[in-house]
Amino acid sequence: MGTPIRQLFDLSGRVALVTGGSRGLGLQMAEALGEAGAKVMLTARKTHELEEAVAQLAERGIDARWVAGDAGKPDDITRIVDETVQRLGDVDILVNNAGAAWGAPAEDHSLDGWDKVMNLNVRSVFLFAQQVGKRCMIPRRRGRIVNIASMTAFGGNPPGQETVAYNTSKAAVVNLTRALACEWGEFGITVNGIAPGYFHSKMADHMIEQVGADVMAARAPLRRLGDDDDLKGVVLLLASDAGKHITGQTIPVDGGVTAVLAQ
C-alpha cells in the first residue's frame, strides 16, 4: 500500500517563497500552497499590494508574511532570502513567478527593454534558485522549485503580439529548468516549470483588451481563458510529495493552445 493521497499533497510544516506573489497568478499559487498547509512568504516590489495580499490569505486561514524587494536587483534577492530564512526557516518550496513583459516590434526593440525582461525573467529565476538551493535545499537534500514560464516559450505569437524578448526569456526558463533539474536531482531537489496560457492578469490584460477575450479564447481547444483556480492543482502537484518523481518538466496550462502550436 502506498501513502494516503491526502498525505502526499499535505504541505504542513513546509515553507514556501513565492516571488511576484502579491497579485494574479503568483497570489493564486500562494493561496494553493497555503491552503495545503505551507507557511508562505510573498515578495514583490509594492508594499501596499503585499499587505493586501497577505490580508486576503489570512482571511482564508493561511499563515502568510511578506517582504518587499525588486527581483531584478541581485542585492534585493539576497535580502529577500535572508529575511525569509530568518523569519520562517529554511525554504522548502520556491515558486519563481516574478516577471515582466515588453511589447515592441523586434526591429525597434530597445536594449533597456530587452535587459529588463531578461534580468527579471531569467536572471532572477537563476539567482533565487541558486540562493535557495545552496542555502536551504542542497544541505538538507530536499526541495521543490517551480519556475513560471509561458506557453510563448514554445513558439512565436500571432500577428500584432510583438513580445520577442518575453518569448525568448520564457524559452530560456524552460531550459534553465531542465539544466537545474539535471544538476540537482542527486540532492533530492525537483525543478519543474509551469507554462500558463492566456490568463487575466495585470501583465496580460492590456493585450487581452486589444485582441479581445473572445478571440483569444477561440485559439484554445477548450475555448476559454484561464481562471483563478487553474494553476492551483499543478503547483500543488509539483510542490508536494505527490510530484516527487517529476523533474525537468514544464507543464503547459493553456487550454490546449500549445497542442495546436505543435501541429
Residues of the chain with pLDDT > 90, as a percent, come to 83
**DSSP character at residue 20:** T
Q: What is the arithmetic mean of pLDDT over 37-50?
A: 97
Residue 166 falls in the annotated catalytic set: yes
Average of per-residue pLDDT values in the chain: 93
Which domains, from first to last, does the chain contain?
Answer: 5-261 (3.40.50.720)
Element (H, E) at 53: helix 47-59
Residue with cell 535545499: 137
Is 163 within 8 Å of 101 (Cβ atoms)?
yes
Single out the catalytic residue among 102, 126, 154, 166.
Answer: 166
Q: How far is Cα 238 from Cα 246, in angstroms, rounded to an integer?
A: 7
Q: How many CB atoms lie within 10 A of CB 150?
A: 26
Does residue 263 carry a pLDDT above 60?
Answer: no
Given 3-state DSSP classes, what are the helix, strand and coil percentages for the chain, each rounded to the nearest 5? 50, 15, 35
Task: State residue 203's pLDDT score.
Answer: 61
Q: From the CA atom positions of the chain, what is the Rg in Å?
A: 18
Candidates 55, 9, 65; CA nearest to 32 is 9
Element (H, E) at 104: none
Dihedral, CA atoms, 232, 236, 242, 247, nearest 10 degrees?
A: 100
Q: How far is Cα 216 from Cα 145, in angstroms, rounded to an integer?
A: 30
Is 173 within 8 Å of 122 (Cβ atoms)?
yes
pTM of this prediction? 0.95
**pLDDT tens, position by position, 183-228:** 999 999 999 999 999 887 666 656 666 666 787 788 889 999 999 9
